[in-house]
Amino acid sequence: MTEEQLDWLESVIPDTPRHPKGGRPPADKRKVIKGIFWILDNGAKWKDLPKRFGSMRVIVICAGSLGVRRGEFGHACVRPSHFAGRPA
């Protein structure tokens, strides 16, 4: 995936809403996107995700909210309006 494609995907995926009381900083969207694509490209299990992508748990949660298992992520990559109004 090129840097231009990553920039585009990063721009269409909405930011995670911040909790008013604080909490953890949001996950790095680039690492999450790269981690999701690594899983999709390799057909691996989530537990086999390399550490360079960050916390497996965070990426699984983000993948779930982006609809990876339901096939919505691929659809949204073609039609970014699919992400509109959805929390990340």
Q: Is residue 18 part of a domain?
A: no
Does residue 66 form part of some domain? yes
Contact 54, 27 (CB under 8 A): yes
Range(s) of the domain holding residue 51: 3-13+31-83
Q: Specify if 52 maps to a domain.
A: yes
pLDDT at 88: 44
Residue at 23 is within a domain: no
Total domain count for the chain? 1
State the residue for tokens 């790269």.
34
User: Under a CB-based contact definition with an 8 Å cutoff, are residues 9 and 77 in contact?
Assistant: yes
47 within domain boundaries: yes
User: How many CA atoms are closer than 13 Å to the CA of 68, on its beta-carbon side?
Assistant: 20
Residues 33 and 6: beta-carbon distance below 8 Å? yes
**41-87 pLDDT per residue, tens:** 899 998 999 999 988 998 888 888 777 766 666 665 655 555 555 54
